[in-house]
A and B are shown apart, each in its own frame.
Chain A
Amino acid sequence: MLDIRELTIDFPPSRKRKAVRALERLSLRLAAGESLSIIGESGSGKTTLIRCVSAHVPPTFGTVSLFGADLSKVSDGELPALRRRCGVVPQDPYGSLPPSLTVLEAVMEPWLLVKGRGDRQAGERKARELLDELGIGREEILSSRVRLSLSGGQRQRVAIARALVLDPELLLCDEPTSMQDASTRGDILRILQRRQEAGMAMLFVTHDLFLARKAARRGLVLYRGEAVEEGFCRDFLAAPKHPYTQALVAALPKLTSPETTPASESGA
């Protein structure tokens, strides 16, 4: 499904900044139905990775094979066909939806683009199912314009629905639950898990180790473009090896052992 070997991406220097090496010799493989968590903070190259897999950023060195096709050898005309089999949930929920459409139209748009107007009814049904599943099935929301009344959390869920409407074989999500409240986060992860059991592969990018562990069994920790630790997510938390991973674990605020502020424990 996805085979990345020694992927290196350099951004050439521009007026604003020097040359940047966004990814360095990254390798990962995903089979159908498998998921992988990419744990990284800003500047780690995680967003560049996603954009590379969806063929918006070309590799400088190394190969990326998507559904068996080497992306650097595929012609521009053939790329849309490959991209349609991926779903992408971008990091910024405010840029990921067209503001002038209604919520329902926004979710249906990829379907209508790919399958044409003839299949409109089926597309609408599918969009409604998805939105309902994600908890935003109320009619007032479906028919309201995206720009007007959605909160960040709602937008993110609509963006997820939009990414899932074409039943992608591979889902690329970049912090898809960042704007969600704690209660809905679990719901969304369960929805994604159901799809995985039905055969969808997933690349789940997040900076939250707990979320990464819940989303996928395997993962890799990305720091400044390099994979510093790979393996099972639960091992990252239980026994982190690389100092960066250790710092991440230490920095996570945990309810199970809240720290106390000196001169304060008397509470009340």
Chain B
Amino acid sequence: MRDLRTRWSFWCLLLMVLTALFGGRLFDAPPEREVAAPFSKPLWIDRDLPPTKELRLTADAPSLRVDWRFAPPSRFSIRIDSSAGESGRFVEWRKPGALAPLRLAPLKAGFEADGRDIAFKRSLGLPPFGDASASLFSEQGEYELSLSGEGDFDGSVVVKLEGGRWGVLGTDQRGRDIAALFVAGVRVSLIVGIFATLLATFLGTSLGLASGYLGGWVDSILMRIVDLLLSIPLLPVLMALAALWGKGLWQLVLILSIFSWMGTARTVRALVLTLRDAPYIEGLRGLGAPSGYILRKHLLPETFPVLLATMTLGVPGAILSEAGLSFLGLSDPRVISWGRMLHEAHSFGAFTAGAWWMLLPPGLGIALLCLVFLDLGKFLEERVDPRLRKGVRP
């Protein structure tokens, strides 16, 4: 297994597993939380567009400077969270180059104002139409938000500036952070992919062993069931079952495994057929070894190399099936998966909005995960069949 460490897919998979387990900690908010304006672009494109920012003043940080080199934000809001206000103190806003700051709001507990509030605009001496932010951010330069005077203020002043950019990967139609959603999606893809395949392999191996070893009518019946299941088109059945049984994650895993054990069963059965008549097996049976012993100790271990490879190659199939079903809207809407992200992007107009950052990450994520397992599967196949290796005496 030393060669495993040289494969890129091993490291990629390791990274993905770590992301699935611990990735959530990178973000302060849970992925379902709305953090910015819908369809915000990622921070690293279109740098003229204002980013979404939150400015927070507390007693320890009574003033903040912000270097504003963009267009004004689309929306401006201010909220004061505290148990008690302090009279005589105000939240002040100094524009670049201005001598005196504007008074934005008195330091009153529970004060809330939005840039569209007419009262708020009037208090600032602004015309009643349009958003206050346009005049609050009339030019590019350094602005300062501060608390006037001194005192014991025990709360916080939160000023939200909504722009068109946010985060590493922007936001979706509801304003959720796509990077957080992406990280949450790794988990679902890995879980469904791996568990569905594990279950299918277990099912396929047991039935394949039984079919190959016992032969006779057991074999015939099982193989006809395999033929039947193979001839059924997968997607319509999955859709019907999803409608019948519900759209939960584990139902999905179960359904997917019921429809993917057949290939493994056939492979295992073929293997058992070649081994069953080996002289040593015949000798063991002749000595009176029970079938269970032969299956467990001799036939099953022979299947492991093949199983490992087919299992690894089966994971991409499960991942794609889950993604497909989610894309069609047949998965649990409360569960974040890459397929679901694509579904929402599609249904909620990402294409018309030109929000490619909603489509590329989950799409590329699915492709990458599949490639990782395909490469690992190829590696395992090479280990099983020495003929596939290079430069070695056959």
Stretch from B161-169, B286-294, B311-319 forming part of the interface with A: B286-294
Q: Kindly identify which residue among B280, B282, B286, B297 contacts A80, using a CB–CB cutoff of 8 Å.
A: B286
**CB interface residues, A 84-122, toward B, < 8 Å:** 84, 88, 90, 92, 95-100, 109-110, 113-114
B265-295, CB under 8 A of A: which get 1 and which 0? 0000000000000111011101111000100
Q: Provide the residues of chain A in CB contact with B283, threshold 8 Å.
A: 88, 90, 96, 110
Min CB distance, B40 to chain A, in Å? 58
Instruction: Determine whether the beta carbon of B287 is less than 8 Å from that of A95.
Output: no
Min CB distance, A46 to chain B, in Å? 15
| Cα distance A110–B288 in the bound complex, in angstroms | 10
Residue B298, interface by CB 8 Å: yes
Highest count of chain B CB atoms <10 Å: which of A81, A84, A97, A109: A109
| Cα distance A97–B280 in the bound complex, in angstroms | 6
Instruction: Determine whether the beta carbon of A96 is less than 8 Å from that of B287.
Output: no
Instruction: Determine whether the beta carbon of A56 is less than 8 Å from that of B280.
Output: no
**CB interface residues, A 36-67, toward B, < 8 Å:** 54-56
Instruction: Determine whether the beta carbon of A90 is less than 8 Å from that of B279.
Output: yes
Q: Provide the residues of chain A in CB contact with B289, threshold 8 Å.
A: 113
Residue B301, interface by CB 8 Å: yes
Residue A83, interface by CB 8 Å: yes
**Known A92-B279, A95-B278, A113-B289: A100·B302 in contact at CB below 8 Å:** yes
Q: Provide the residues of chain A in CB contact with B288, threshold 8 Å.
A: 80-81, 83-84, 113-114
Nearest B residue to A114 via CB reads: B287
Instruction: Determine whether the beta carbon of B286 is less than 8 Å from that of A98.
Output: no
Residue A79, interface by CB 8 Å: yes
Query: Can you offer 7 A-B residue contacts whose CB atoms are under 8 A?
Result: A56-B286, A88-B279, A95-B279, A95-B280, A98-B297, A98-B298, A100-B302
Min CB distance, B9 to chain A, in Å? 27
Min CB distance, A111 to chain B, in Å? 10
Nearest B residue to A84 via CB reads: B287
Give the size category of B's interface with A. Answer: 10 to 19
Nearest B residue to A99 via CB reads: B302
Instruction: Determine whether the beta carbon of A113 is less than 8 Å from that of B286.
Output: no
| Cα distance A251–B302 in the bound complex, in angstroms | 42
Q: Provide the residues of chain A in CB contact with B282, threshold 8 Å.
A: 56
Instruction: Determine whether the beta carbon of B302 is less than 8 Å from that of A54.
Output: no
Instruction: Determine whether the beta carbon of A54 is less than 8 Å from that of B280.
Output: no
Q: Provide the residues of chain B in CB contact with A90, threshold 8 Å.
A: 279-280, 283
Q: Provide the residues of chain A in CB contact with B279, threshold 8 Å.
A: 88, 90, 92, 95-96
Q: Provide the residues of chain A in CB contact with B297, threshold 8 Å.
A: 98, 100
Task: Give A contacts to B, CB under 8 Å.
Answer: 54-56, 79-81, 83-84, 88, 90, 92, 95-100, 109-110, 113-114
Q: Provide the residues of chain B in CB contact with A97, threshold 8 Å.
A: 280
Nearest B residue to A166 via CB reads: B287
Instruction: Determine whether the beta carbon of A98 is less than 8 Å from that of B280.
Output: yes
**Known A99-B302, A100-B302: A79·B278 in contact at CB below 8 Å:** no
Nearest A residue to B302 via CB reads: A100
Min CB distance, B237 to chain A, in Å? 37
Instruction: Determine whether the beta carbon of A110 is less than 8 Å from that of B280.
Output: no
Instruction: Determine whether the beta carbon of B280 is less than 8 Å from that of A79.
Output: no
Highest count of chain A CB atoms <10 Å: which of B286, B288, B301: B286
Nearest A residue to B290 via CB reads: A113
| Cα distance A90–B302 in the bound complex, in angstroms | 21
Nearest B residue to A110 via CB reads: B287
| Cα distance A81–B258 in the bound complex, in angstroms | 44
Min CB distance, A30 to chain B, in Å? 20
Highest count of chain B CB atoms <10 Å: which of A90, A95, A98, A109: A98
Instruction: Determine whether the beta carbon of A80 is less than 8 Å from that of B287.
Output: yes
In addition to A55-B286, A96-B279, 7 A-B residue pairs with Cβ atoms within 8 Å of each other are A81-B288, A90-B279, A95-B278, A95-B279, A97-B280, A110-B287, A113-B289
| Cα distance A201–B287 in the bound complex, in angstroms | 19
Q: Kindly identify which residue among B278, B287, B293, B298 contacts A100, using a CB–CB cutoff of 8 Å.
A: B298
Min CB distance, B280 to chain A, in Å? 5
Nearest A residue to B294 via CB reads: A98
Q: Provide the residues of chain A in CB contact with B301, threshold 8 Å.
A: 100
Q: Provide the residues of chain B in CB contact with A92, threshold 8 Å.
A: 279
**CB interface residues, B 134-173, toward A, < 8 Å:** none
Min CB distance, B286 to chain A, in Å? 5
Min CB distance, A241 to chain B, in Å? 34
Nearest B residue to A174 via CB reads: B279
Min CB distance, A119 to chain B, in Å? 15
Q: Kindly identify which residue among B284, B286, B298 contacts A79, using a CB–CB cutoff of 8 Å.
A: B286
Min CB distance, A82 to chain B, in Å? 10
| Cα distance A108–B301 in the bound complex, in angstroms | 18
Instruction: Determine whether the beta carbon of A54 is less than 8 Å from that of B287.
Output: no
Min CB distance, B284 to chain A, in Å? 7
Min CB distance, B274 to chain A, in Å? 10
Min CB distance, A262 to chain B, in Å? 38
| Cα distance A92–B281 in the bound complex, in angstroms | 13
Nearest A residue to B304 via CB reads: A100
Q: Provide the residues of chain B in CB contact with A80, threshold 8 Å.
A: 286-288
Min CB distance, A102 to chain B, in Å? 12
Q: Provide the residues of chain B in CB contact with A109, threshold 8 Å.
A: 284
Q: Provide the residues of chain A in CB contact with B298, threshold 8 Å.
A: 98, 100
Instruction: Determine whether the beta carbon of B280 is less than 8 Å from that of A113.
Output: no
| Cα distance A54–B301 in the bound complex, in angstroms | 28
Instruction: Determine whether the beta carbon of B302 is less than 8 Å from that of A83.
Output: no
Q: Provide the residues of chain A in CB contact with B302, threshold 8 Å.
A: 99-100
Min CB distance, B276 to chain A, in Å? 11
